[in-house]
Structure 1
Amino acid sequence: MLDDLDRQIIDQLRVDGRASFSEIGRAVGLSEASVRARYQRLQRKGVVQVVGMTEAVRMGEMEVHLAVRVHHIPVALVAREMSRMPEVMYVASCVGPYDLIVDVRCRDLGHLAELLTERVRRVNGVAHAEALTVLEVIKDSYLWAGFREVPARPEKRILPG
């Protein structure tokens, strides 16, 4: 089970995955050794993994969210097949009008067309796949409740706050 200190450590790693254990310790009020021990426990449990992330649009690639409906076979089988595709970055089952949400990265429109028509739509059980192309990433922060961006000043907000 995660406690508030674990969440604070994870938040610090999300801001800077290369921060030292001593820097994180200063930020959360723990010793370097305590942060290291907690990090290793979180890593062993598969809760945390520190990796480099890229932004597709800034790299000249396309980021696309696919909303997929599955018919006549278990969703898990389609999810497993989709996960095998190298372009697929994320697969999640969900409730609502779609059964799967799949995030993919493609070099260009031709690559996306090939992926959709030649591979995704040919997966057994895929009844419908709708592509939503990312034009610009406005916000991308997956932080625990204890760590937040500084809110925009009232005069900078578009909508009344």
Structure 2
Amino acid sequence: MGIELDDLDRAIIGELEQDGRRAFREIARSLDVSEGTVRSRFRRLEEDGVLKITAFAEPGRFSTARLALLFLKVAPEHHESVVARLTACREISYVSTTLGRADVFAQVLTADDTALWRFLQERVRPLEGVLETECTLEVAVHKLWFDKEGPARPAN
């Protein structure tokens, strides 16, 4: 179930998407609200699981490391266990349930091509319920955030 966000929540998220280390004081000044308001909204968004501040490394800047996208077809009865096993892997930074040609999407970072191959062969493909895997190397990221206004709203 989704959390209802108001315009101020979306504005705070938008400010943090531009710079996740930005001080609450600066965000408050740019949005013309109090620092305490920004701080309490941030805490609520974080506690509700809407917002998490993380760092992102540009894959094209790695010398030998490989950032890859995994698309997995999973038997329905094993979906939750596969997701749990993947989220427990330190090599995996992101896991989501998807609709389409794959049931699960994951982003994985390994030291090099050999480590990526080994990770797939030894840790992902043998998972009970994994029916198919597809792996694509991610070589450049061109956009990582939503526009400041947030997701488009349906027309009334």
**What TM-score, normalized by structure 1, do the two folds share?**
0.81
Q: Which runs of 5+ in 2 are unaligned?
A: 151-156
Q: Deviation of residue 49 (structure 1)?
A: 2.2
1:143 aligned to 2:146? yes
Contact 2:59 2:139 in 1 (8 A): no
Which residue of 2 is the match for residue 104 of structure 1?
Answer: 108
Q: How much identity, in percent, do the aligned residues show?
A: 32
Amino acid at match of 1:35: V
- Write the distance in 2 (CA, Å) between the matches of 1:57 and 1:23: 31
1:46 aligned to 2:49? yes
Pick one of 2, 25, 28 that aligns with 2:28: 25
Q: Deviation of residue 132 (structure 1)?
A: 0.7
- Note the alpha carbon deviations across 1:104-131, whole angstroms, 9 max, x for none: 1111000001011111111111111110
Superposition CA RMSD, Å: 1.8
Q: Which runs of 5+ in 1 are unaligned?
A: 148-161
Is the alpha carbon distance of 1:44 and 1:85 closer, same or farther for their aligned partners in structure 2, counting shifts above 3 Å? closer
The DSSP-based 3-state class of the residue aligned with 2:77 is coil
Amino acid at match of 2:46: Q
Which is greater in Rg? 1
Amino acid at match of 2:11: Q
Pick one of 2, 9, 16 that aligns with 2:5: 2
Q: How many aligned residue pairs are there?
A: 146
Pick one of 63, 70, 75 that aligns with 1:71: 75
1:90 aligned to 2:89? no
Q: Deviation of residue 64 (structure 1)?
A: 0.5
